[in-house]
Amino acid sequence: MEGSQHDLLIAIVNQGFGDQVMDVARENGAKGGTIINARGTSRPEVENKYGIVIHPEKEMVLILVNSKIKDKILYAIYEKVGLDTPGQGIAFTTHIDEAVGLKHKKVKKNEEKQEEKEENEATNDELKEENKDS
Model pLDDT, residue 75: 94
Q: Where are the beta strands (DSSP E) in the chain?
A: 6-14, 34-39, 57-66, 90-96
Do residues 57 and 15 touch, judged by C-beta distance below 8 A?
Answer: yes
Model pLDDT, residue 33: 96
39-73 confidence digits (pLDDT tens): 988 777 777 787 766 778 999 999 999 999 999 99
Q: What pTM value is reported for the model?
A: 0.68
Least confident of 1-10, 76-85, 125-134: 125-134
72-94 confidence digits (pLDDT tens): 999 999 999 988 888 888 999 99
Model pLDDT, residue 1: 42
**pLDDT level of residue 24 (50, 70, 90 thresholds):** very high
